[in-house]
Structure 1
C-alpha cells in the first residue's frame, strides 16, 4: 500500500510539471510594432521614387547584362559570403547536435584485465589468487524532458541557426551593393575622364589662341601664363580619374574573389553610368523591416536569448533519466555463463539544490534577453534612419542633377549661338572658345552628378535591404518558424 501511494505521488508530481521559462513572442512595446515604423516612408512620395515592391534582384532594373553577370559571380565566389555560409553550416550542425539530445543515448563497453583483488575489501585475511577478469556491457538511457529543458535548448539552437542565416543574407546584401557600387564608380570615372579630356582640349585651344594674340601684339604675356595655369590644372585632374577607374576594377576583382590581375579591363569596360528605366521602388516601413536581414537577425537573437532563460530555469527542477543496461562481468574464462550475467533497469533522478548559482544564471540570461531586445529595437530604428537618410540624399541629388542638366542644355545653346556669330565674323574666336569652355565645364559637372545619382541609388537599395533572396540557399534553419518571422 505504501509503495502504491509513493508511485501515485510521483505520478501526480510529474503530471503537474510543465514547460518552464517564458514563451517567446515579440514584446508589445518593441519598436517593430510601433505604427510609425510600419507606415509609409517620409520620402516615399518624392520625385524619382515609387511606392512599389523592391525586387529581389534590384540591380536588374539597370538593364545592364555585364552588371548582372558581375553580381552573380560575386554572390557565388565572394570570400565574405563563403565565410558566412560556413558559419551557417556550423550553426546548423549545432542545431542537429542539440536535437540529438532528444533521442535515446546508448553505449557499449568492453575490458579485459589481469588483477588481484584486495582481501581486506572482502574482510578476508587470506590473499586471493590472481584472476583474468573480463567485462562487457551495453547500456541505453533516455532523458524525460518533463520541464522542457531540451525543448528550450532546441528553440535556442534553431533561433541561433536562423540568426546565422540572416547574417549570411546581410553579407549578400552588402556584397551585391558593393559590386554595383564598384562597377558604377568605374563607369563614372570613365565618363568623368572623357568630360575632363574635352575640357582640356578646349583649354588647349584657348591657350593656343592666346599665344597667337600675344605674338601679334594683341595681348599680354600674363594672359598666356594664366591660360597655361588653367591648362595644367585640368591636366592634373586626369591621373586621379585614371587611378579611380583602376581602383574600381581592383575592388571588383576582390568582390569576385579574384586577384587584381585575374579581372581583365575589358570584362568591366563601361563608358557611361547605368540608369534606371523607371522610378526607384521603395515600398513602405512594414515591408522594409520584414526584408532587412539585420532586423531579422536581431529578432532571432532575441528569440534565442529568451529560450535560454527556459534552459537555465529547468535546472531548478529534477532531471529524470530512464535507463537499462546488461552485460557480463567476471573471470574471463567464465564469461557467458549464468553467474557472470548482469542487468539493470530503472529511473535515475538527480536534483541539484538551487544554491549552486542557478538563480543567478537565470538572472544573467534575463539581462541578456533585455540587451537582445534593445539591439532589436536599435536595428529597427537604424533601418528606418538609414533608409530615410538615403532616400532624402537621393531625391536631393536628383534635384541637383536636373539643375545641372538644365545648365548644360543652356550652355550648349549658348555655344551654338556663339559659333554662328563667330562664323559670321561678329565676335572674336576667343568668345567662341569661352562659350565652349563653359559648355565643357557644365558637361564635367553633369558627368560627376550622374555618378553621384547612381551612387545614391545604390545607397538607397542597400538601406532597403534587397538582394539576398536572389542568392539564398535552402537550409534546415529555413522552417515554418522562419516563415513566420519573415
Structure 2
C-alpha cells in the first residue's frame, strides 16, 4: 500500500482506538435488604458480641481435633476440588483479558519441488513469511465487560473456596464429636452391664439363701444378656463414624482411628453473635452470592453492547517472499503490506440480540433473588443456632442433675434390696432409669457441642470478605 494511503487511514484508526478506550462502566446497584437491628433470640440481644477467631476450633481445647482439622485442610478431596475450581476461574479471567489486546500471527513457509515430464526435469523452490496483526476495537466495551464479569466470577469462586473450607472444618468437628459421644454411650453400656452382672450375683446369693425366687434369677440373667447384646450395634456404629471421619479428612478408612473416648474433656465456648448487618461481610457464601450478582450485571452489559450498530476491527499484515528454498537468497525479496479496517453491522437478526439482553436481565433478577434468599437463610441459621446453643446449655445442666439423682436412687435401691425392703422390680427400674439418664446426658452434651459448631459456621467462622477479596489479583470489590 502506498505511504500516503496509509497516512490517510491513520486518523481513522486512532479515532477507533480512542473509542475502544471508553469502555462502558458496569453499574452494580446491589440488593436492597432490610436487615434487622438485633437478633430474635434474647441470648444474642442481651450480651456483648464476641470476636470470632479464624481458627475458632481451637477454643474446644482438643489437640487431637486441631490435628484432624489440619490434616483435613491438607488432604480433603473437597478442598482439592475447590482449589482446582479457583484455578479454572483464574485461567478464564486471563483468557477474557486476552481479548483486550491485539492478536499477532506469524506464518513462515518454505518449499521445494521437482517435476518430471517428457524426459525433462524441472525444479521449483520458494519461501515466504507473513506477519499479521488483528485487533477488535472495543467500541462499546463488550470485551471489557466480559473481562469484568470473569473477574467477578473469579472472586465468587474464591469465596466458594472459603465456604467449602468452613463447611469442612465444621464437618470434621461435628464428626469427631459424634465419635466421642458414641464411645461415651459404649462406656455407659459397659457400666450398665457391670451393674447388671453385680446385681445378678446379689440375686443369686439371695436365691441360695432362700430370700429370692428362681424367677428373680431368670429375670436378672435376661437383663444381663440384653445388656451384652446392646453393646454390639453401638460398636458397629462407632466404627462407621470413624470411617466417615476418615473420608472427611481425606485418608484411607482402614487403619484410621482417633484417641478420644469421651465428650466431657471438650470445652464448649460461649459464642455471642455480632449485629445482623455484619453477616454480609462475614459469611463467604453471602460474599459469593454478591459477586455472582456483579457478574450478572457484566453479562447484561455484554448483551446490551451487542445491540449497538457498529463492530470495528483493525487488521494489518506484511508478507515477505523469496524464490529460494529456506530464504537462502534475500537479495531481491518480494514484500507486500496491507492495512484494513472492517465494519460489521447486523441488519436483521429476528430479535435474537434483544432476546439475549432480556435473558441476561432475567438471569440477573434470579441471581438477585438467590442472594436475598441466602441472606434471609443466614439470618435464620444464626437465630436457630443461638437458640439451640443456649437451650442445650440449660438442658445439659438439668440433665446432669437428673443423672446424679438416678445414680443415688440406684444405690439406695440396691441397699434396700439386700436388706429385703424392696423387691427386684424396684431395683431393675432404678437400673433402667439410670441408664436412660446417662444416655440422655451424652445426647444433650453432643447437641450443645453441635449447636456451638453450627453457630460458628452460621457466623462465618471468623472469616471476613475483605480478606478473601484481597486475594483476587486486580479484582474490584464486588459490592462496589
Instruction: State the TM bucket, normalised to the shorter chain.
Output: 0.7 to 0.9
Query: What is the deviation of 1:41?
Result: 2.3
Task: Give the stretch that moved more between structures: 178-187 or 227-236.
Answer: 227-236
Distance 1:358 1:18, change over 3 A: farther
RMSD: 3.8
SS in 2 for 1:45: helix
* Alpha-carbon distance in 2 for matches of 1:46, 1:241: 37
* Alpha-carbon distance in 2 for matches of 1:319, 1:285: 48
* Alpha-carbon distance in 2 for matches of 1:93, 1:141: 23
Aligned with 1:326 (options 318, 339, 346):
318
Structure 2 stretches lacking a partner, 5+ long: 1-6, 114-121
Query: What is the deviation of 1:363?
Result: 1.4
Query: What is the deviation of 1:63?
Result: 1.2
Name the structure 2 match of 1:386.
Answer: 381
Residue 184 (1) aligns with residue 177 (2): yes
- Structure 1 contact 203–437 (Cα < 8 Å) conserved: no
- Structure 1 contact 113–133 (Cα < 8 Å) conserved: yes
CA shift digits 1:127-156 (9 cap, x unpaired): xx9964443111223333221112101111
Name the structure 2 match of 1:250.
Answer: 243
Name the structure 2 match of 1:301.
Answer: 292
Structure 1 stretches lacking a partner, 5+ long: 116-128
Name the structure 1 match of 2:93.
Answer: 95
CA shift digits 1:23-68 (9 cap, x unpaired): 123133xxxx3132xx322225269986323321121110111111
Residue 360 (1) aligns with residue 371 (2): no
- Structure 2 contact 102–134 (Cα < 8 Å) conserved: yes
Aligned with 2:303 (options 289, 312, 334):
312
* Alpha-carbon distance in 1 for matches of 2:272, 2:216: 53
TM-score if structure 1 supplies the norm length? 0.81
Name the structure 1 match of 2:343.
Answer: 349
SS in 2 for 1:158: helix
Distance 1:92 1:12, change over 3 A: closer
Name the structure 1 match of 2:370.
Answer: 375
Name the structure 1 match of 2:226.
Answer: 233
Name the structure 1 match of 2:450.
Answer: 455
Aligned with 2:72 (options 68, 71, 74):
74
* Alpha-carbon distance in 1 for matches of 2:47, 2:209: 58
Matched ranges for 1:32-111 at <5 A: 33-36=33-36, 39-43=37-41, 45=43, 51-111=49-109
- Structure 1 contact 45–51 (Cα < 8 Å) conserved: no
Task: Give the stretch that moved more between structures: 346-355 or 161-170.
Answer: 346-355
Distance 1:412 1:176, change over 3 A: same
- Structure 1 contact 51–283 (Cα < 8 Å) conserved: yes
- Structure 1 contact 142–323 (Cα < 8 Å) conserved: yes
Distance 1:438 1:371, change over 3 A: closer
* Alpha-carbon distance in 1 for matches of 2:414, 2:214: 27
Name the structure 1 match of 2:134.
Answer: 141
- Structure 1 contact 54–281 (Cα < 8 Å) conserved: no
Aligned residues between the structures: 459
* Alpha-carbon distance in 1 for matches of 2:347, 2:259: 68
Aligned with 1:23 (options 27, 36, 48):
27
* Alpha-carbon distance in 1 for matches of 2:134, 2:222: 89
* Alpha-carbon distance in 1 for matches of 2:67, 2:214: 55
- Structure 2 contact 185–442 (Cα < 8 Å) conserved: yes
Residue 465 (1) aligns with residue 460 (2): yes
